[in-house]
Amino acid sequence: MKIFIDSANIHEIREAASMGILDGVTTNPSLVAKEGKNFRQLLDEIVQVVDGPISAEVVSIDKDGILREARELAKIHENIVVKIPLIKEGLKAVRVLSEEGINTNVTLCFSPTQALLTAKAGGTYVSPFIGRLDDISIDGMELIRQIIGIYQNYGYTTQVLAASIRHPLHVVQAALAGADVCTIPFKIIDQMFQHPLTASGLETFLNDWKKNESKLV
């Protein structure tokens, strides 16, 4: 499973990239707005740090507006993936962009029918939002399993990108379900490293070593 960071914060992105585990980045208008930077400049910075797919979202909701924004975003760098909302006008644009060879990430997916339509339109990625479904007492992970099942039945190549991840267990469940990608906030990437037995075990090893005369160099 590929790991993307779900962030528009350049410090978080840089830190996650330095861990050697990062395959890409996803942003959304809310994450970008939080940074208070020019969108273009921010994307220029991100493409310098991560050599992998970087999702940048359009804010138009009509086909022509989406296409205009998408083509501008795609010009910035070959790694830019245009993030498009899962609405009728969005999927019309995805079909055109797919024929132009522009990669897309179809976002705000909350149902298997939406995911099926995304694959038919030629989306590169579909982003089901796990946490937001859990928030309203619907099992978000079940949606991931349903989409993977449908895509496997027909050999659709659209990649399933588990989004709206709220805790490390979501990451484990997405990996067990066979999601192609999981996009994870920085705090949760950090939590994935942690285990109390690793911390206490290391402390013991280092304390014992101090009592030992032997040295490697």
Q: Give the residue numbers annotated as catalytic, written as ranges.
A: 83
Tallying the residues shown for the chain, one arrives at 217
Which of residues 129 and 156 has its CB atom nearest to ligand G3P in the complex?
Answer: 129
Q: How many residues bind ligand G3P (CB under 6 A)?
A: 9
What is the rounded CA–CA span in Å between residue 212 and residue 151? Answer: 57
Q: How far is the CB of 55 from ligand G3P (least distance, A)?
A: 8
What is the rounded CA–CA span in Å between residue 194 and residue 144? Answer: 26
Which of the 8 DSSP states describes residue 102?
Answer: -
Q: How far is the CB of 193 from ligand G3P (least distance, A)?
A: 20
Which of residues 31 and 96 has its CB atom nearest to ligand G3P in the complex?
Answer: 31
Q: Which amino acid would we find at residue 186?
A: F
Q: Which residue is nearest to ligand G3P (CB)?
A: 164
Q: How far is the CB of 166 from ligand G3P (least distance, A)?
A: 6
Judged by CB under 6 A, the residue of 26, 79, 103, 159 near ligand G3P is 26
- CA dist 72 → 49, 81, 102 (Å): 21, 11, 11
Buried b vs exposed e over 115-133: b needs ≥16 C-beta within 10 Å? Answer: bbbbbebbbbbbbbbbeeb
Q: Is 183 in the site for ligand G3P (CB under 6 A)?
A: yes
Q: How far is the CB of 132 from ligand G3P (least distance, A)?
A: 5
What is the rounded CA–CA span in Å between residue 211 and residue 196? Answer: 23
User: 154 in helix, strand or coil?
Assistant: helix
Residues between 74 and 133 with contacts to ligand G3P, criterion CB under 6 A:
129, 131-132
Say if residue 90 is exposed, middle or buried (CB neighbours under 10 Å; 0-12, 13-18, 19+): buried
Q: Which residues bind ligand G3P (CB under 6 A)?
A: 6, 26, 28, 129, 131-132, 163-164, 183
